Amino acid sequence: MTSKANHKQEKEQFIKLFEKDRIDRFEDRLMILEVFLQTERHATAQELAALVRQEGRDFPDDFVRETIELMCHYGFAQANRFNNGQIRYEHRHLGQHHDHLICTKCGKIIEFEDQSIERLQVQIAAMYGFHILQHKMELYGICRGCLDQRAPVLSLDMARAGERLKIVAFAGGTQSKLRLMSMGLRVGDQIEVITNILQGQVVIALDFSRLVLGQGLARKIHVSPITVDTEPSAG
Ligand SMILES: [Zn+2]
Ligand SMILES: [Zn+2]
Ligand SMILES: [Zn+2]
């Protein structure tokens, strides 16, 4: 999605705009731009500061953040906040657009571009008499690498929000089994995870009701993911 020629052009424009607007510490900021253009990652200001340090310059995180914010202002960078996490910056190449698949397990970010989805969005907006100025599409899920690593059966406390699962067994003693059954849970039930915060409560949907479990009880429910068959293209 990017090229060397592209980056050379970005650098030239940066020099022109920053000189024209008399931005202070021009050389330092240019160095940060160069490091930023060298990475294709979606990096936080802190990560960027670390990359700059690898190149032999040590700037406070705040200075790096301020510089990258300036780059956003002039359209060289774009800020994203995936999954309400930290702000991550990526290149902004004029006339180019992509959307993101974000793995909620390992944090991997995959970029994709699909013209039919882009067109469909415009069509949908038009149906409402709405003119789209910009959009961000973020699809959250589990990447192929994480899917491959995952055991076919896991305990519910390991599941992620949004996962659809089938209950395959109840572990633990009679006491906890009875407790789960009194909540209306049965082996074979299909559930969806609404919330699962580390060390906190697990909220699940069973048919049309919401059930709240502690981590301890959730650990006793063994589930297997219900996967929609997404035949990956050969490779
Ligand atoms: Zn898009
Ligand atoms: Zn992953
Ligand atoms: Zn991206």
pLDDT tens by residue, 63-79 = 999 999 999 999 999 99
Query: Which pLDDT score is estimated for 234?
Result: 45
Residues 57 and 22 in one domain: yes
* Residue where one domain finishes, among candidates 91, 114, 129: 91
**Domain containing residue 31: CATH number:** 1.10.10.10
**Domain containing residue 124: CATH number:** 3.30.1490.190
Residue ranges with CB less than 5 Å from ion ligand 2? 103, 105-106, 108, 143, 146
How far apart are the CA of 8 and the centre of ligand 2, in A? Answer: 33
Residues 163 and 140 in one domain: no
Residue ranges with CB less than 5 Å from ion ligand 3? 90, 111
Residues 86 and 19 in one domain: yes
230 in a structural domain: no
Query: Which pLDDT score is estimated for 85?
Result: 86
Question: Which residue in this structure is represented by tokens 């991550």?
Answer: 88
The bridge status of strand 138-141 relative to strand 99-103 is: parallel
Query: Which pLDDT score is estimated for 1?
Result: 46
**Domain containing residue 168: CATH number:** 2.30.30.90
Residues 139 and 155 in one domain: no
- In the chain, which residues have pLDDT < 50? 1, 234-235
Residues 79 and 18 in one domain: yes
* Distance of alpha carbon 155 from alpha carbon 159, whole angstroms: 7
38 in a structural domain: yes
50 in a structural domain: yes
232 in a structural domain: no
Ligand nearest to the CA of 99: 1
Residues 11 and 80 in one domain: yes
235 in a structural domain: no
What residues make up the domain containing 122? 99-146
Residues 53 and 9 in one domain: yes
- For 24-49, how does the pLDDT look when each residue is reduced to its tens digit (9 = 90+)? 898 999 999 999 999 999 999 999 99
How far apart are the CA of 2 and the centre of ligand 3, in A? Answer: 11
Ligand nearest to the CA of 111: 3
For residue 76, the 8-state DSSP code is S
How far apart are the CA of 70 and the centre of ligand 1, in A? Answer: 24
CB contact at 8 A, 59 and 28: yes
Residues 123 and 162 in one domain: no
Task: Give the count of domains, the chain.
Answer: 3
Rounded to two decimals, what is the model's pTM? 0.78
Residues 177 and 217 in one domain: yes
Q: Shortest CA distance to 76 belongs to which of 59, 64, 94, 57?
A: 94
CB contact at 8 A, 124 and 135: no
Residues 179 and 119 in one domain: no
231 in a structural domain: no
Residues 108 and 51 in one domain: no
Q: Shortest CA distance to 61 belongs to which of 74, 72, 76, 47?
A: 47
Residues 21 and 61 in one domain: yes
How far apart are the CA of 63 and the centre of ligand 1, in A? Answer: 31
